[in-house]
Chains A and B, each alone.
Chain A
Amino acid sequence: MIRRRVAITGIGAVSALGGTASLTWEGLVAGRCGIRPVTLFDTEGLVAHNAAEIGTVPPAWTLDGALRKRASRADRMAVSACDEALADAGIDPRAIDPEIGGIVLGAGAGGLFETEGYYLDRIARGVARARVTRAWGFSPSTTTDLLGAHLGFEGFTTTVMTACSSSTIAIGLAADAIRTGACDVVVTGGADALSRLTFTGFCSLRAVDPDRCRPFDRNRRGMTLGESAGILVLEDMARARGRGARIRAELLGYGAACDAHHVTAPDPSGDGASRTMRAALEDAKISADGIDYISAHGTATQFNDEAETRAIHQVFGARAREIPVSSIKSMVGHCLGAAGAIEAVAMVLTVEKGIVPPTVGLRDPDPECDLDYVPGKARVRPVRAALSNSFAFGGNNGAIVVGRVDA
């Protein structure tokens, strides 16, 4: 069957490193770490107190006033990144046929920080007196519906909830929507904000570093949470070329597979991860030799970094050690439902500019982690195509492949 090609024509981001994709990128290339003490809620009694928190969440002035009043921090980040991405793509959402525009977001905690207020209020004061309007963001689909109202799009729209791989799989599904002709332009990615529940939950799993995360380091003790939004505008390649759009990169393919191993822990053999990467390469019709950079899931948990390293060896064989592999989670934190999205935005810039962002905080490599993790400093290097991994609770794995488009 004929599959249409998928252009990436716009990107937008909000992260602890800055309120736009370019500010985030500058921070990544400089190796700046956005991790700092959490101010959003009290972390007393927990094993960790740091996160890549966003100091000032964008006000989202472009959003309709009634919606803005209700919008969560995650919603406002999403609107800001979405506006930036569409402007970058040169698309006025109100000027295109609404039926050709879709929205596919990955979800995480989303509006949970605000919704927690309702749940806690309900416990304290009872159902009848708790302010139910605070639960407005209870559904992972709220941000998607909010963007829908904001943009007026009528096409292929849905919300993917696969925990830490949500936005990677959302981007893949968005690509399917374009490839199979369901629509022509899709706003995709995700936005996720810190919450008491996720912060406390990961602490309870003893999966959080008390200081800051050190992916692939011998002394790593776990992840550091973050929050961000990353939005990509995917577009039918022929349409993008036809309107003379600047094509930042091509979404070559994606893979999704399940460990079917454990609820929270990855399969230590790396089998689920390697099947996912292979599926992505096969879908992208590219051989392992065509990949010049891997944006690792790289959470800095003991299990992930070893299993992921093993899986990269399985897929890339003798070439594994020659491919730069980095984890930007060391700078923007683990953004859960938005992790794949912010990493995808960075990967588009990596491919476009030929600069590989580093893994910071990695000083003493774990002997079990024997790849080139680009420690400390960014590297200039042409990248024909790159692969980004996202692994999640439930073994819900996803990977995407982005390729350079030569003008």
Chain B
Amino acid sequence: MSGAAVTRAAMKIAVTGIGAVTPFGEGAAALWEGLLSGVSQVRPIERFDTSGLRSHLGALVGPHDPRRVVPPLSLRRLDANSRFSVLAAAQALETGDLAARERAGIVLGTNSAGIGPVAEFLGTIRAGGGAAAPPILFPYTVANAPASQCALHLGLRGPNLTIVQKEGSSCGALVTASRILASGGAAALVAGGADDLVPQLYEAYDRVGVLSRDARASGGAAEGSRPFDAARNGMVLGEGACFLLLEPEPSARARGARVLAILEGAALGRAPVAPHGVPRDPAPWARMILRAIASAGAEPGGIDAVFASANGSQGLDAVEAAALRIAFHGLPPPATSVRGAIGESGAGGAASAAAACFALASGRIPGTAGLVRPDPALGLDVAPSVRARPLARVLVTGFSSGGSAAALVLAAA
């Protein structure tokens, strides 16, 4: 490994707030309690018709009320992703008690933002010609709309970035935010991700066969979100938004903020594979994990748990497990995945990171919902139920189809 690639992050970053709108409903506490309960929020989709498809399940957001942070008139104009985002980002800022927002910004990771409006916009011009194009919809065809709405409604006047890395988008956003903070580009950043479950994306994923499908279509196991399971047969899409409030530790301490966890290290990387493909070789992902751990000034042996990005995909779960086995010399620490409970979305990595913060504070690793029989081929220590143990430092991963990869090392405050 090269010298530069392991340069230690020059600055420790404090996590001072968490906000979430997830299938467990509104609030980070609801997410954490839901994950501890072991109950999956994956259910049949009723919002749109899936009868012509091979997949029928999703994890849609639970009860939430954005009217608290967005006036009703404005709310009507927001797309679903922006509603989740503004509410979750507001909570992150509130729990972090951050009033100074002149140099505070947002880094939002997303996989699906813009897709629904793009399809709707094209439908309108196909039906009525170019002159019928709806100008109000146009800005929402761009994936930066949710982050922009967060800035508008929450007064975030610092850097405003939207990051796209498919499934790993929000993990990538958190790493990106850590680099911006380390170089002094912002005083604080709300970082995480958001997706809404877009029918057009669901259909396309169904067609290309990356979703878990019903027993008839799969010729075997029933449809379901089963990370690490021997009978996993694809991912289940979820939706929601989750954000962490990040700021340099010294300034967080100086303003008397409550520090929930420390982001000690982070890395971004990729494995060479074609867009949307699953890498064959796990070694590049293993090297990325090691860079993240090294940037925290830690050793693989110092990692007490892994909040994995496993989502029940046959291939991605296997490559991630192989990368973990390489990075941890055959003995990875206990692993868990939030995707069994809340499905896969651009918010997944941030939800993992949020769960990791709660886990560090409470010494509990949530179980992986949906997991019945761990796949022995993965060689991972995984469990369906909560495990209690002292946690000093954990790894959060964000691997994606197409090869991109992100990892965070979070430590107890």
Question: Residue B184 at the A interface, CB < 8 A?
Answer: yes
The proximity string for B residues 1-18 relative to A, scoring 1 for CB distances below 8 Å and 0 otherwise, is: 110110111110000000
Question: Residue A46 at the B interface, CB < 8 A?
Answer: yes
Question: Residue B147 at the A interface, CB < 8 A?
Answer: yes
Contacts of B40 in A (CB 8 A): none
**How long is the Cα–Cα vector from A103 to B272 in the complex, in angstroms?**
12
Contacts of B138 in A (CB 8 A): 201-202, 204-205, 264
Contacts of B144 in A (CB 8 A): 161-163, 392-394, 396
**Count of inter-chain pairs, beta carbons less than 8 A:** 292
**How long is the Cα–Cα vector from A142 to B274 in the complex, in angstroms?**
9
A155 contacts B269, CB within 8 Å? yes
B271 contacts A160, CB within 8 Å? no
The smallest C-beta distance from A179 to any residue of chain B, in angstroms, reads: 5
**How long is the Cα–Cα vector from A135 to B208 in the complex, in angstroms?**
10
Contacts of B52 in A (CB 8 A): 127-128
Contacts of A255 in B (CB 8 A): 185
Assuming the contacts A180-B179, A184-B2, asked whether A257 and B268 have C-beta atoms less than 8 A apart, the reply is: no
Which of A138, A140, A155, A258 counts the most chain B CB atoms within 10 A?
A258
The smallest C-beta distance from A279 to any residue of chain B, in angstroms, reads: 8
Question: Residue B134 at the A interface, CB < 8 A?
Answer: yes
Indicate which residue in B166, B179, B200 contacts A176 across the interface (CB closer than 8 Å): B179
**How long is the Cα–Cα vector from A182 to B1 in the complex, in angstroms?**
13
A260 contacts B164, CB within 8 Å? no
Question: Residue B99 at the A interface, CB < 8 A?
Answer: no
Majority DSSP secondary structure for residues of A touching B: mixed
Indicate which residue in B1, B122, B151, B184 contacts A283 across the interface (CB closer than 8 Å): B184
**How long is the Cα–Cα vector from A159 to B143 in the complex, in angstroms?**
12
B10 contacts A140, CB within 8 Å? no
Indicate which residue in B157, B184, B273 contacts A149 across the interface (CB closer than 8 Å): B273
The proximity string for B residues 246-264 relative to A, scoring 1 for CB distances below 8 Å and 0 otherwise, is: 0000000000000000000
**How long is the Cα–Cα vector from A8 to B268 in the complex, in angstroms?**
22
**How long is the Cα–Cα vector from A397 to B157 in the complex, in angstroms?**
10
**How long is the Cα–Cα vector from A197 to B137 in the complex, in angstroms?**
11
Contacts of A149 in B (CB 8 A): 272-275, 403
Indicate which residue in A151, A176, A202 contacts B180 across the interface (CB closer than 8 Å): A176
Contacts of B275 in A (CB 8 A): 67, 70, 136-137, 139, 141-142, 145-146, 149
Question: Residue A152 at the B interface, CB < 8 A?
Answer: yes
Question: Residue B212 at the A interface, CB < 8 A?
Answer: no
The smallest C-beta distance from A57 to any residue of chain B, in angstroms, reads: 18
Give chain A interface residues in 147-166, CB to chain B under 8 Å. 148-149, 151-163
Give chain A interface residues in 34-77, CB to chain B under 8 Å. 43-46, 64, 66-67, 70
B2 contacts A200, CB within 8 Å? no
A158 contacts B163, CB within 8 Å? yes
Contacting chain A: which of B29-37, B111-119, B335-343, B372-380?
B111-119
Contacts of A397 in B (CB 8 A): 160
Give chain A interface residues in 109-148, CB to chain B under 8 Å. 112, 116, 118-120, 122-124, 127-128, 132, 135-142, 144-146, 148
Question: Residue A328 at the B interface, CB < 8 A?
Answer: no
**How long is the Cα–Cα vector from A181 to B183 in the complex, in angstroms?**
10
The smallest C-beta distance from B335 to any residue of chain A, in angstroms, reads: 23
- What 4 A-B pairs have minimum CB-CB distances, sorted nearest first? A394-B148, A181-B7, A256-B159, A204-B133
- Give me 7 other A-B pairs in contact (C-beta within 8 A), A119-B123, A396-B147 excluded: A70-B274, A154-B288, A173-B179, A181-B10, A182-B7, A205-B138, A257-B105
* 5 A–B pairs (Cβ distance < 8 Å), ordered by A: A45-B131, A107-B143, A124-B126, A136-B275, A396-B144
